[in-house]
């Protein structure tokens, strides 16, 4: 019984670590995507001083 409890505790620790690693990985992916989008926006008109949100980027800034 004690072995089983130890096994379950170990497994739950490993699951927590996997979840943390996955969250960190997802955050890195989101930051990388955000960085690419904002650099695209800069080349498409932000250098002229235009300011717009992501939602209206294609409507107003993309023209």
Q: Any idea which of 3-7, 19-23, 26-30, 37-41 has the lowest mean pLDDT?
A: 37-41
What mean pLDDT do residues 11-35 have?
90
Q: How does residue 63 score in pLDDT terms, banded at 50, 70 and 90?
A: very low
Burial (CB count <10 Å: 0-12, 13-18, 19+), residue 34: exposed
DSSP letter, residue 47: G
DSSP, collapsed to helix, strand or coil, labels residue 56 as coil
User: Considering the entire predicted model, what is its pTM?
Assistant: 0.46
């Amino acid at each position: 019984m004690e072995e089983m409890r130890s096994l379950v505790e170990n497994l739950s620790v490993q699951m927590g670590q996997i979840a943390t690693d996955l969250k960190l990985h997802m955050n890195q992916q989101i930051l990388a995507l955000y960085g690419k989008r904002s650099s695209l926006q800069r080349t498409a008109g932000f250098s002229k001083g235009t300011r717009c949100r992501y939602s209206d980027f294609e409507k107003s800034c993309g023209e």
